[in-house]
Amino acid sequence: MSVRPAPRSSRRLFGGLAALLAAGALSYACLPGGKGFEPGDVADGGGLSLGDGSPIGPRSDVDLGDPFALDGLLPSHGPFSGKTRALVSGRGFVPDMRVFVGGVEVPKDALFATSATRLAIEVPPGKPGPAEVRVRNVKTAEERVLTEGFFYDAFVIRPDTGATSGGTRVALEGNGTTFAAGTTVAIGGKPCADVAVADATHLTCTTPENTAGAKDVVVTSGVDRVQARDAFTYNDSVDGYRGGLSGGVLAGRIKVLAFDSYTGKALVGGTVVLGSDLATAKTAKVSVSGAVEVSDPSLTGKVTVSVAAKCHQPMTFVDVPVDTVTVYLDPVLDLSCIEGDPPSVGGGGGRFGGIIEGQIVFPGGVEFRRAGWSGVPAPTRPTERMAAYVFFSQGSPGERFVLPDAAVAITPDSPGDAGYLYSVVGAPGNHTLYAVAGLEDRTESPPRFVPYVLGVVRGVGLGAKQRVVGTDIFMNVVADHALTIAAAPPGPSGRGPDRLVTQVAMSLGTGFATLPLGERITPLPLSGPIPFVGLPSLDSAVATESYVVSARAVSGPKETVPVSVVSRVRTTSTNTPLALGGFLPVPKMAEPSVGAWDGKRVRFSLSPEVTTADLVKLTVSSGNGLVSWTIVAPGSVRDAAVPDLSALPGPDPLGLTRGPINSTLSLARIEGFDYARLRFGHLASGSWSAYAIDALGGAF
């Protein structure tokens, strides 16, 4: 038996642009790049207007298509055993619907009509291979069918997740498979070790080391080859060498591991300080393995842990409640710290990127002939043109949309057969790409780009110096939605903040898509809700995604401190305004302050007092930014003693350098946070759901 692998997507494309939702009255709006318009501008053609009749939002003069349609399932495949949770996308769905997969009806208790364009189902068990998907409107008896709308994988793998270091023992259960002696298993292209075949449908093996992310699993038995897409996911273990706090309750013993953040090498000879006062603290040196282990009855409850090493940025964790601390220190980038031969500059070393090529494909094409730009209206001004651009997903929803250079635009004149060719350069890794097509006008400053249609492709693996071809992006998401934000930022003060930067991005798995019309800048105090138009509809290729909203109350045109931010607020609804609160007040530093600091105490206040913060982070920079000391504490701390690391004995200075300093204090809220399980990733603002920052200059 030979079963072909599941297609990347069995979704059907559709064209058309739905009418734009009403945006409501505007008091202030911001075009891409910050260009504003005033009250009195009118709505035109379903979109916002600049007053000269030219819209800045999508128009409604495009055919809407079949009012009852079935587009596909996401995910479009799953194990033969069923129970895959999938979203059926289409149009004209009603609460009383019936869904059949492979001729088997989805039970009523496993089907939920979430909207007129989406049905949530639990796929029933089925025979390996392609299966027909059929939906029926009970009231009208209308039906729509996709002949190969879902693909049943020939085996299921348990467990389906494991550590990137490998070593997870997994079991595969097949249906109609021919597992036998000599059968091999590959996960993400790497062989699974110690394959043990029990019978034709059961085997076990040990996962290989691999990079993080979802990987294909391929089983080969002689001439038979079966494959399941994205069937096993690699992720880091809960503990391990990730940096941060872990282990059990602190009870007389603590282990500290210290490494260089660039090389991963142990900070041999570095100093670990256990305590908040050098006079009474316990100190120890880092061993060749990078570890320090100290046993003492006084190490009970909580302890302040500091790590310092020659030519490295020191770090302190206040009130550590657990028995294991893993620290990665950044090196000091100074010539005096270079040992041995100077580093090479050139010669072809470094981290090489690769090239991804493919076509953006619009719905409506036939064999040997590509479709036109369906969903994108024709330009109405001589300075406008149809254009599309391809982007990599971003790691943070707060990244700003940047329109690429005009020279890399994909246009209706671009070459291609099924679609229109594109080419992008990226770093090695597993990527999600998205394309945006619309109308642009480069004669304006900044250039104006209005999106109409988007497309997404996931799981594009790219190696160093590799060229990946055939990565087509299907343009089946229309930018026809509007979202209103009702924000409640902190009020302006003498120092700020004085304006609100509001952004709407779209989730793409673990990444995010920044959007052309996804940013507005509004003066504080606000005069009303903030509307966004031209957002992607959450169906088709992005049916399981959400809008991700961030708002930054900032100070001055350069958007500096004081700052208060709410980030990563998710919603899938555009029916009612999204209430956006939870802003933290800006902390007021007392030590360090604008005067001299002795390096022994951290103290600040809040008005009004806030008890819901999760993390305090203070960064004190000296030597014009050459040496920085990072101090981390639980969110409840307002006053903490810390050891003056510059006073540690020895020939090499291990703390701040004497002279001017600049102190940056951050107060953060993190979803699901536990200080006893802090990870280094929690120290970056990209993981904070809300935070407030202030900065002051001083001296040390």
pLDDT at 291 over 50: yes
Question: What is the C-alpha to C-alpha distance for residues 178 and 495, in angstroms, rounded to an integer?
Answer: 72
* DSSP-derived 3-state class of residue 631: strand
**pLDDT of 369:** 78
Long-range interactions of 330-335: CB distance < 8 A, separation 24+: 330/261, 330/262, 331/260, 331/261, 331/262, 332/626, 332/627, 333/626, 334/626
> Within 13 Å, how many C-alpha atoms sit on residue 2's CB side?
5
Fold (topology level) of 244-337: Immunoglobulin-like (2.60.40)
Residue 125 buriedness (CB in 10 A; 0-12 / 13-18 / 19+): middle
CB contact at 8 A, 54 and 380: yes
**pLDDT of 262:** 83
Beta strands in 116-243 (DSSP E): 118-122, 129-137, 143-153, 155-158, 161-162, 169-174, 184-187, 190-191, 193-199, 202-206, 213-221, 224-234
Domains 1-20+67-162+164-235 and 244-337 agree in fold:
yes
CB contact at 8 A, 278 and 644: yes
Handedness of CA 417, 418, 424, 428 (dihedral sign): negative
Q: Which residue has the higher pLDDT, 9 or 398?
A: 398
| Interval 516-527: pLDDT, tens | 999 999 999 999
Report the range of poorest mean pLDDT among 100-109, 285-294, 438-447.
285-294
Report the range of poorest mean pLDDT among 114-118, 132-136, 239-243.
239-243
For range 391-415, the mean pLDDT: 94
High-pLDDT (> 70) share of the chain, %: 85
pLDDT at 41 over 60: no
pLDDT at 61 over 60: no
φ, ψ dihedrals at 372, nearest 5°: -75, -175
**pLDDT of 597:** 94
pLDDT at 12 over 60: no
Give the CA diameter of the chain.
86
Question: What is the C-alpha to C-alpha distance for residues 251 and 568, in angstroms, rounded to an integer?
Answer: 37
**pLDDT of 5:** 36
For range 652-663, the mean pLDDT: 90
What single-letter DSSP state applies at residue 332?
P
Q: Which two tokens stand for residue 27?
A: 């008091």
Report the range of poorest mean pLDDT among 21-35, 129-143, 160-174, 632-646.
21-35
CB contact at 8 A, 283 and 598: no
Q: Which amino acid, residue 417? A: D
Report the range of poorest mean pLDDT among 61-75, 98-112, 539-553.
61-75
Report the range of poorest mean pLDDT among 319-323, 368-372, 382-386, 588-592.
368-372
Question: What is the C-alpha to C-alpha distance for residues 127 and 80, in angstroms, rounded to an integer?
Answer: 6
High-pLDDT (> 90) share of the chain, %: 53
DSSP 494-561: SS---EEEEEEEEEETTEEE--TT-EEEEESSP-S-EEEEEEPPS-GGGTT--EEEEEEEEETTTTEE
pLDDT at 455 over 80: yes
Report the range of poorest mean pLDDT among 489-503, 519-533, 590-604.
489-503
**pLDDT of 421:** 97
φ, ψ dihedrals at 183, nearest 5°: -65, 135
CB contact at 8 A, 376 and 420: no
User: What do you get for the CA distance between the two ends of the chain, in Å?
Assistant: 75
The domains of the chain are located at 1-20+67-162+164-235, 244-337, 354-478
For range 124-141, the mean pLDDT: 91
CB contact at 8 A, 620 and 628: yes
**pLDDT of 65:** 59
Residue 323 buriedness (CB in 10 A; 0-12 / 13-18 / 19+): buried
**pLDDT of 212:** 63
Cα distances from 220 to residues 2, 186, 201, 230, 698, in angstroms, run 10, 8, 13, 17, 66
Reported as a pLDDT band with limits 50, 70 and 90, residue 50 is very low
Cα distances from 349 to residues 314, 352, 424, in angstroms, run 30, 8, 22
> What number of other Cβ atoms are within 10 A of residue 320's Cβ?
27
**pLDDT of 191:** 95
Q: Which amino acid, residue 410? A: I
pLDDT at 595 over 70: yes
Q: Which two tokens stand for residue 548?
A: 């991700």
Q: Which residue has the higher pLDDT, 227 or 318?
A: 318
Nearest to 299, CA basis, from 282, 278, 311: 282
For range 419-424, the mean pLDDT: 96
**pLDDT of 611:** 65
Question: What is the C-alpha to C-alpha distance for residues 102 and 148, in angstroms, rounded to an integer?
Answer: 9
> Within 13 Å, how many C-alpha atoms sit on residue 554's CB side?
14
For range 628-655, the mean pLDDT: 91
Nearest to 374, CA basis, from 65, 145, 4: 65
CB contact at 8 A, 647 and 674: no
Beta-strand relationship, 244-249 and 282-285: unpaired
| Interval 330-366: pLDDT, tens | 999 877 776 544 444 444 444 578 999 999 999 887 6
CB contact at 8 A, 457 and 515: no
**pLDDT of 166:** 66
Question: What is the C-alpha to C-alpha distance for residues 177 and 165, in angstroms, rounded to an integer?
Answer: 29
Q: Domain 1-20+67-162+164-235 belongs to what architecture?
A: Sandwich (2.60)
Beta-strand relationship, 499-508 and 511-513: antiparallel
CB contact at 8 A, 557 and 491: no
CB contact at 8 A, 245 and 317: yes
**pLDDT of 162:** 64
φ, ψ dihedrals at 236, nearest 5°: -70, 150
Q: Which two tokens stand for residue 534?
A: 């031209």
pTM above 0.75, yes or no: no
pLDDT at 677 over 80: yes
Highest mean pLDDT among 67-71, 461-465, 510-514: 510-514
Q: Which residue has the higher pLDDT, 139 or 628?
A: 628
> Within 13 Å, how many C-alpha atoms sit on residue 514's CB side?
20
Nearest to 261, CA basis, from 699, 630, 653: 630
**pLDDT of 456:** 95
What single-letter DSSP state applies at residue 80?
T
Reported as a pLDDT band with limits 50, 70 and 90, residue 10 is very low
For range 570-584, the mean pLDDT: 92
For range 663-681, the mean pLDDT: 93
For range 66-90, the mean pLDDT: 84
Q: Which residue has the higher pLDDT, 87 or 563?
A: 563
Q: Which amino acid, residue 619? A: T
Query: Average model confidence (pLDDT) for the chain?
Result: 83
φ, ψ dihedrals at 354, nearest 5°: -145, 180
Beta-strand relationship, 111-115 and 97-101: unpaired
